[in-house]
Structure 1
């Protein structure tokens, strides 16, 4: 309630009430309304910029932010599980697969390399949760890079495995005659007595005694490079190029079952035992060559002999007797 003001009237020697002017009253009312409006506006602005009052839109956005934070937390946990599985695959890749196929392990610094150079996450900066979003994105990018490296490595291992399989199939790894067809292992690799001159001479293969016509088998996958009798002393003979530097030779045959240029698999019938060329009796003279060096064939019978059979063959092969060619 406004104060009532008075003034002293000397004419009447009394106090009279001061009546305010209407214009001033209207002005006071206007100031009051304007002041109330400004106070209310200021109060509203202050309230909207505090957490005391939130609009429905703000409440909805806050819930969405909380949900996104929860999703990022779940995503990071899943990425942790992926990293554990990937680390296990990388360890087996380096210490088992690549080791078995004689390939160099992938260096750890190559697998864990980051992303240098330009800031690839600039667009994610400047937000309330930028640190969390950038950290998760970086982690995901590193996992993607590691998976790409691992995928490339497994592709390489697949190629190496195929080559290894071809190599294992190509190595002359079985006996050229079946044991049931074999009379005896007549002479091994090494210095032996020549059947014709009786002089001590290097015998570059193994002689298997068997009846004429006994089947002779390819000891590994390869290609027939010779099937003729144009090599001195060998008579009718076959040579198979197995690749990887390996060549096998089958001499003193009675007849062929293959021809030059033909591809054969391990165990294919290629010819028959005979006594052609420089031979004292029906037998198969068998040689293995690696990079043009003649090596002892007994080291390659792991594909067809038991431990006992190999032991017996080794005993006879080491005897310095007379060869049959």
Structure 2
């Protein structure tokens, strides 16, 4: 029940009851309600814009943003690991592979150059986490560029390695007759006494004495260019073209095991020791040609003999004795 209010009437010297008008009372109530509503609305707006009041949607978005930041952090950590691996590969590429194949190193200005275009990342600007997204995107682009450059570099190295492998396989690097089948090294490369004229003349190969029928081996990969007896003095003979300027000749064979046009590998049996043509006895006359010039076969025996065996063969080959053809 509301309190009754009085006022003092000085003229009549008495207290009189205050009578409030209903309209005024209603206006006060309405004004109070409007003020309360306005205050409540303003308070609600303020709360919405403070971190102390979150709607379920705000909380969901906050979690998503936090997950996004976490995923970007993990992505950057993985990119650090990828970058370490790429740098190790680049180091081997520049300082091992390219040095071995005599190729210039690829500078960092090419390897680590970003992709062209100043406004490439403009579409990522203007967001709360724009810097994080832009930096990560740039890193991905740089790594992608590095991988592309390294991939092309390895393609070049692979081609060089294939060519190098073919070259190493083509070199006539083994003896054409195995040591267990040899009787002796009859004559080496250089001036020797001709067995028929007794004159001193250039002997352009090495003579390996062995029993008739002993196997003769291709000393390097190549293609058989000749397998006949048309060359004067050589009797049955084989010529192999190895490529890279190398050719080898095998003379005085008893029979063939290879034919013209056949591709052979180092170590394949191509014929057998004999004494056909201008020959003093069963042996193999062996020659090596480089760029159409005859060279000493002794310089190429690194594929199947030891250092001690090489010294022995070199001593025997360098004796100025009589050749067998």
Q: Mark yes or no: TM-score above 0.5.
A: yes
Q: CA deviation at 1:130?
A: 0.9
Gap change, CA 1:107 and 1:296, over 3 Å in 2: farther
- Corresponding residue for 2:282? 282
Q: CA deviation at 1:298?
A: 1.0
Q: Give runs of aligned pairs for residues 205-224 of structure 1, distance below 5 A.
A: 205-224=205-224
Q: CA deviation at 1:212?
A: 2.9
Conserved? CA contact 2:115–2:145, under 8 Å = no
- Corresponding residue for 1:107? 107
Q: CA deviation at 1:101?
A: 4.2
Q: CA deviation at 1:26?
A: 4.4
Q: Give runs of aligned pairs for residues 108-123 of structure 1, distance below 5 A.
A: 108-123=108-123
CA RMSD of aligned residues (A): 3.0
Cα deviations by residue, 1:49-85 (Å, 9 ceiling, x for unpaired):
1223222322232233223222322222222122112
Deviates more, 1:289-298 or 1:64-73: 64-73
Gap change, CA 1:319 and 1:73, over 3 Å in 2: same
Matches of 2:6 and 2:323 in 1, distance apart?
150
Matches of 2:206 and 2:86 in 1, distance apart?
51
Q: CA deviation at 1:248?
A: 0.9
Matches of 1:293 and 1:269 in 2, distance apart?
25
Matches of 1:317 and 1:104 in 2, distance apart?
42
Q: Give runs of aligned pairs for residues 58-207 of structure 1, distance below 5 A.
A: 58-207=58-207
Conserved? CA contact 2:241–2:248, under 8 Å = yes
Matches of 1:103 and 1:191 in 2, distance apart?
42
Q: CA deviation at 1:245?
A: 2.1
Q: CA deviation at 1:222?
A: 1.5
Matches of 1:237 and 1:71 in 2, distance apart?
74
Q: CA deviation at 1:315?
A: 0.9
Gap change, CA 1:154 and 1:182, over 3 Å in 2: same
Matches of 2:102 and 2:248 in 1, distance apart?
26
What are structure 1's unaligned runs of at least 5 residues?
Answer: none
Deviates more, 1:259-268 or 1:71-80: 71-80
Q: CA deviation at 1:320?
A: 2.5
Matches of 1:139 and 1:156 in 2, distance apart?
26
- Corresponding residue for 1:229? 229
Q: CA deviation at 1:316?
A: 1.5
Cα deviations by residue, 1:246-280 (Å, 9 ceiling, x for unpaired):
21111122222221111222222212222333333
**TM-score normalised by the chain length of structure 2:** 0.86
Deviates more, 1:210-219 or 1:308-317: 210-219
Matches of 2:304 and 2:134 in 1, distance apart?
62
- Corresponding residue for 1:45? 45
Matches of 1:314 and 1:44 in 2, distance apart?
104
Question: What is the aligned residue count?
Answer: 323
Matches of 2:214 and 2:70 in 1, distance apart?
78
Q: CA deviation at 1:20?
A: 6.7
Matches of 2:98 and 2:33 in 1, distance apart?
86
Q: CA deviation at 1:151?
A: 3.2
Q: CA deviation at 1:142?
A: 1.7
Matches of 1:211 and 1:224 in 2, distance apart?
24
Matches of 1:106 and 1:192 in 2, distance apart?
54
Deviates more, 1:204-213 or 1:242-251: 204-213
Conserved? CA contact 2:6–2:15, under 8 Å = no
